[in-house]
Amino acid sequence: MISNLSVALLHDGMLDKQDAIVTTSLTMMDVHDICRSCRTYNTRSFYIAHSSSVLRSLASTLERHWKEGHGATYNPDRKDAFDILHITETLEQIKEDIQKKTGKTPLLVATSAHQGGERVSFSNLREQMNKDSEHHYLLLLGTGWGMSQELLEQTDLFLEPINGPTEYNHLSVRSACAIMLDRLFGE
């Protein structure tokens, strides 16, 4: 069964430590690990959106290595994971691609490690996605110090943060993605 969830790693409209809106860099380790998590939990697609043509080209080189190059024969599991990767420039392009592929405008699900705002729990989102055949969901992952307020205001749902037993809460985006997907799809 094809999942009604896709994941997007965003780099534009992010905050830095001083709360300035910036574009963050693309991290190759994020690409590898999030592809593998998305494939493990059967998301429909994993999108990377970045305004830099140089960084999109770098991501495409990595993708070709694992899908067509030596990496495809060296590690077929990684090739399988990269089959769901789509590299775009903007969130708008992601939404258009999902609309084209599914016939549905995606519901945007924001994520943040910060507290505040009206949040949906993992269990409620899981239940909603399981019952909902009318919508496709797009889980938005921010980079840097999180998504700007302007970006958050474009979303339909705001997922609760991941909380551990301590005050410290600064997971890498790839770790947070794996935890979120497990909470939404894990057995």
Query: For residue range 84-101, what is the model confidence (pLDDT) as tens digits?
Result: 999 999 999 999 999 999
Q: How far is the C-alpha of 143 from the C-alpha of 136, rounded, in Å?
A: 23
Higher pLDDT, 116 or 125: 125
Q: How many helices (H) and strands (E) does the chain have?
A: 8, 8
Chain segment 53-67, per-residue pLDDT in tens:
999 999 999 999 999
Task: Please report which confidence band the pLDDT of residue 2 belongs to, taking 50, 70 and 90 as the band edges.
Answer: low
CA distances from 21 to 53, 58, 149 (A): 19, 23, 9
CB atoms within 10 A of CB 170: 7
Check if CATH label 3.40.1280.10 holds for domain 5-185. Answer: yes
How far apart (Å, rounded) are the C-alpha atoms in residues 178 and 162? 11
- For the chain, the domains span 5-185
